[in-house]
A and B are shown apart, each in its own frame.
Chain A
Amino acid sequence: MSPDFEKQIHELLHCRWHAVASWTWDAQDETCGICRMPFDGCCPDCKLPGDDCPLIWGACNHSFHLHCILKWVNSQTSQAHCPMCRREWQFKE
């Protein structure tokens, strides 16, 4: 290691890095099958994406906006089914 290198290491310790990232839901789909809005956006009733409008996965591994699927589930009189695959809707553990 040259003396220069050590100096440069020193330089790195002095640096402050402000990085930019974007978040995304780790889902298979791009859009919610109920509201057709992108997952990275939010459901039609919400203003803010992210924590305020989370996704939820069913046992069938289909994901929806939490608010959307709740609305769906509550509107069903009997047992609700997944809007995508018609299997019985169960929230994923």
Chain B
Amino acid sequence: MELLGECNLGILETLSEDAIEEITESYGGYFTTVESLIGGDSSVEQELVCHVSTLCKYGLASLVRDHFLSSLQQAFDKGGASTFWLHFDDFRHKQHTDYGEEIHQALCGALEEITIEKQFHDKCLSILFHALHSFQQQSSGESHNSDSERVELFSTFRSILSSTLMTTLPPHFPEILHCYFKEKLEELSAIMNEDDTQQQLDTDGMDLDDKLRSKNGEMDVDQGFSRHDELVKNIGKVVRDLRSIGFTSMAENAYASAIFLLLKAKVHDLAGDDYRTSVLGPIKEWIQTVPLQFLNALLSFLGDSVRYDTTPSGLTSPLACCPSPSFSKVVTPSQGIVRWKLRLEYFAYETLQDLRIAKLFEIIVDYPESSPAIEDLKQCLEYTGQHSKLVESFISSLKYRLLTAGASTNDILHQYVSTIKALRAIDPAGVFLEAVGEPIRDYLRGRKDTIKCVVTMLTDGSGGNANGSGNPGDSLLEELMRDEESQENVGFDDDFHTDDKQAWINASRWEPDPVEADPLKGSLSQRKVDILGMLVDIIGSKEQLVNEYRVMLAEKLLNKTDYDIDTEIRTVELLKIHFGEGSMQRCEIMLNDLIDSKRVNTNIKKASQTGTELGEGELSVDILTSTILSTNFWPPIQEEPLVLPGPVDKLLSDYASRYHEIKTPRKLLWKKNLGTVKLELEFEDRAMQFTVSPTHAAIIMQFQEKKSWNSVDLAAATGIPIDVLNRRVNLWISKGVLRETRGREPNGNVYTLVESMTDSGKNESEELLGGDEESERSIASVEDQLRKEMTIYEKFIMGMLTNFGSMALERIHNTLKMFCVADPSYDKSLQQLQSFLSGLVSEEKLEFRDGMYLLKK
């Protein structure tokens, strides 16, 4: 026993001549017998046993073993390995797409051959083992468990074998394997598909019970299934043979990558560019039916085989699946299958997520039609947690596609709102939204018309929804309102909704920030996903938004002739909820003015009905309606001088004195250039209707008395400055009512009434272009107001820039704040300053370079 184990050098000296001779002889004999045994001659077995026992007697057992193994290796090297690889030589130069069926045959053939060879070698090895074993038993006289030795011997052999194969591995072999599995899987998938459709056809005819059974119960043994079974068995055989020659991990890699490839293709196929359906379900189902089914079958098939030749080799990768204990077809998901399922699902989620993230921009453009895709993405992200990928990719596509000079502010805002809505679904805490929204907000702040667009979008359904999403006539505000009601999500603005109960609800709803949250951005409590809030955030403050809205409202109200303000009232009410009563006070007063005007108007009409008969050239009070403003609460109104024609002027002053009677001691001050006049002009050959401003009406009325006026006289008669007059007259010229003839005198052009269509005609075309739309507004726009207020600072700014050279926006702002404390103190926001400065830039007074303002030279 001890001879076997250790090498006792002392023993060499005690050896007699005879003994040495005996050793040499049997050593030689052993060599030849081994050679002939491996060569295939099994008759020498007896002789071998004899030699082995002699050698072992002298303690040379390890030598015996080593020699045997190296002889086996040599034999295998010469024979098995090289012939094995020879099978695949043909494929070396081929494109791996056209292997076809031959690869299957080659692989099977090669594997079969090598397995036979290996079996033979195993047999040789067991002969040796028996020889060694019987000697041991003889010498020690006791029988002992030889299993561990046997196992050790065989595993040594196996690793010798696989390392031999590995060292001679041609580089294209893994690819061959990969292709093989890929083709087989595709075949399998096709079969499954057929099955599926078959089943669908079948189940369509069945009642529900049957349907369930055929879904849950493993497939009935029909033809498709047997084909499938056959196929899996073939693949299983290949995998098993590969394992037995030590290619376990390579085989696994190959079929795993094939499965993933197939899965990826499937996901791409299913997902496509249609965002209106959810694809996650079908994908999961597919995973369940095709790859898992396959793996299940494969693993249970391998289950028996692996058991039988027990591989305790360290080669099993962590991915290798422990065969399930039961080999029956009943699906008890083994640990391996579960692990595979998780892997596959993760992969599917990740693939889909990448796909969706890449297309997120389009998806959001289509929102809310694309909400199934968003929902899918949400689930994927929950699983993979790769939100940062989404943020990065989306921001870059935003920058590339949306935040460009070509996109209209309206479109950007709509996309912004859709983004908010869509991302809110993915991430209710709004952490990622924060990151994504930032670039859009920054960009929008640089645009001049942002405030206007935001206000329009919020309050004006038809105007804002130019893209046609949502119901027409439905403003964003209404939509927000509805959302809020449905969510029962109170607490829009902290200022006026925090009662104790609400605070408690908020507190009990608290959830920690997601790990991805940026700690610099404040905690969840400050970060409500509130679309309106995020829109206001762009503008800077709600005051600015309200101000802009007030101007728009004023414009709208002044152009109303029917006192119908229901929509405006509703909008103001909604805004009141969000911004507070205080900020909407002035708007309310404006609306109230309209309501009062209506009442006063009817009262005055009633009072004058009892009045005297109309005199010659007098006008009935019936044609007059009025809007009476509380000027202090309206935005500044642009007044232009205007002298109205006598009858109208009389009508107005009558109206005013009636008002004074009713409302003493209040009186009316007419803003004569404001309002709307509908008139019908009748000519020799036509009648035309117009809705124009009082100024236009006053001009055309002058032509009742005189068919032609020169501009100086007309200006004097209407009280309009001559340059304004020339612009105003254009309207009538373009309508073909007046004709302009260039006067010779310095007091200008002569305008003549065009009596019939026939003599107009030619004149229209050119003058049409010179419309006077630009100054039609009666309310000074917010920008104009701001400009007026800011001009006093222009000198300061110019001086500053002369001294300092160039300054950043922030610094100009701070300097102004510091030095302009005296009357009027500087109270503008950064945004206001910015828009003023950009105005100066466009006037070429300043230059803007690299974020710095400097004087234009």
Indicate if B588 sits at the interface (CB-CB under 8 A).
yes
Closest A-chain residue to B592, C-beta based? Answer: A48
Closest A-chain residue to B563, C-beta based? Answer: A18
B625 touches A22 (CB 8 A): no
Q: Indicate whether A22 sits within 8 Å of B589 (C-beta atoms), given known contacts A12-B647, A15-B623.
A: no
A27 to B705, CA, bound (A): 40
Binding site secondary structure of chain B = mixed
By a CB distance below 8 angstroms, the chain B residues around A13 are 619
A17 to B697, CA, bound (A): 9
Indicate if A10 sits at the interface (CB-CB under 8 A).
yes
Indicate if B92 sits at the interface (CB-CB under 8 A).
no
Indicate if B585 sits at the interface (CB-CB under 8 A).
yes
A21 touches B666 (CB 8 A): no
A14 touches B666 (CB 8 A): no
A80 to chain B, nearest CB (A): 22
Closest A-chain residue to B670, C-beta based? Answer: A21
Q: Which of A4, A17, A47, A57 contacts B648 (CB 8 A)?
A: A17
A7 to B585, CA, bound (A): 48
Indicate if B669 sits at the interface (CB-CB under 8 A).
yes
B624 touches A40 (CB 8 A): no
Most buried by B among A13, A15, A18, A49: A18
Indicate if A82 sits at the interface (CB-CB under 8 A).
no
A47 to chain B, nearest CB (A): 7
Indicate if B535 sits at the interface (CB-CB under 8 A).
no
| Contact indicator per residue, chain B 642-682, by CB within 8 Å of chain A (1) or not (0) | 00000110011001100110011111111110111111111
Q: Indicate whether A15 sits within 8 Å of B589 (C-beta atoms), given known contacts A20-B627, A49-B630, A49-B632.
A: no
By a CB distance below 8 angstroms, the chain A residues around B682 are 7, 10-11, 14
A69 to chain B, nearest CB (A): 15
A61 to B589, CA, bound (A): 29
Indicate if A44 sits at the interface (CB-CB under 8 A).
no
A38 to B680, CA, bound (A): 42
Indicate if B194 sits at the interface (CB-CB under 8 A).
no
Indicate if B561 sits at the interface (CB-CB under 8 A).
yes
Indicate if B683 sits at the interface (CB-CB under 8 A).
yes
A22 touches B675 (CB 8 A): no
A40 touches B667 (CB 8 A): no
| Contact indicator per residue, chain A 23-57, by CB within 8 Å of chain B (1) or not (0) | 11111000000000010110000011111000101
Binding site secondary structure of chain A = mixed
B693 to chain A, nearest CB (A): 10
Q: Which of A16, A41, A51 contacts B633 (CB 8 A)?
A: A41
A4 to B624, CA, bound (A): 25
By a CB distance below 8 angstroms, the chain A residues around B629 are 20-23
B667 touches A16 (CB 8 A): no
A9 to B647, CA, bound (A): 11
Most buried by B among A13, A14, A27: A14
A74 to chain B, nearest CB (A): 24
Indicate if A75 sits at the interface (CB-CB under 8 A).
no
A47 to B633, CA, bound (A): 11
Closest A-chain residue to B659, C-beta based? Answer: A23
What are 28 contact pairs spanning A and B, CB under 8 A?
A7-B682, A10-B682, A11-B679, A12-B647, A12-B704, A13-B619, A15-B697, A17-B697, A18-B626, A19-B627, A19-B671, A19-B675, A20-B627, A20-B670, A20-B675, A21-B629, A21-B669, A22-B671, A23-B666, A24-B667, A26-B665, A40-B630, A48-B588, A49-B589, A49-B632, A50-B630, A50-B666, A51-B596
Given pairs A15-B678, A19-B624, A41-B633, 20 additional interface contacts (CB within 8 A): A7-B682, A7-B684, A12-B647, A12-B701, A14-B679, A16-B679, A17-B625, A17-B675, A19-B627, A19-B672, A19-B674, A21-B656, A21-B669, A22-B631, A23-B663, A25-B666, A38-B632, A48-B588, A49-B630, A51-B596
**Which residues of chain A have a CB within 8 Å of any CB of chain B?**
4-5, 7-27, 38, 40-41, 47-51, 55, 57
Closest 6 CB pairs of A and B: A8-B704, A20-B674, A15-B679, A14-B680, A18-B561, A22-B631
